[in-house]
Amino acid sequence: MHHLLIDSFHTVLNQVWAYALNAIGGNPTDDAIRAWLQNLRLDITAGCFNYRPSTGDPTKLSLHSYGIALDWDPLHNPHQRPLTKTLPDWWYMIWARNGWRDGRHFPTPDPMHVQFATGA
């Protein structure tokens, strides 16, 4: 990951953790929070840095080439039409609140994808 995004990435993960804690309610253990997140497959990533052409436009580098994009649970959130996703809306909102954008609205939806860039 690009070093300038590390703090933002940690903030997102901490907010996801806090959301889970609140959603479970009471005073859950760390293991209970992890299990809740794993049940939603929010612990599955396909990675960040990957020096390769963009799948949308192979004449350009993918934002993964700059370490500013991550993919999550690609098996259940594939890059395809029509939009097919399991990642929850609240999870995308946390990313958005921290300046990240996602691929749900790409011409070919890419719901696994979050990026710290606009207009790309």
Cα 86 vs. chain centroid, distance in angstroms? 12
For Zn ion, the closer of residues 68 and 69 by Cβ is 69
The one-letter amino acid code at 120 reads A
Residue by residue, DSSP assigns 99-120 as: T-EEETTSSS-EEEEEES-S--
For Zn ion, the closer of residues 20 and 66 by Cβ is 66
The one-letter amino acid code at 104 reads R
For Zn ion, the closer of residues 69 and 87 by Cβ is 69
CB of 12 to Zn ion, least distance (A): 16
CB of 19 to Zn ion, least distance (A): 22
CB of 69 to Zn ion, least distance (A): 5
- C-alpha 79/C-alpha 56 separation (Å) is 10
Query: Which residues bind to Zn ion, rule: CB under 5 A?
Result: 69, 71, 113
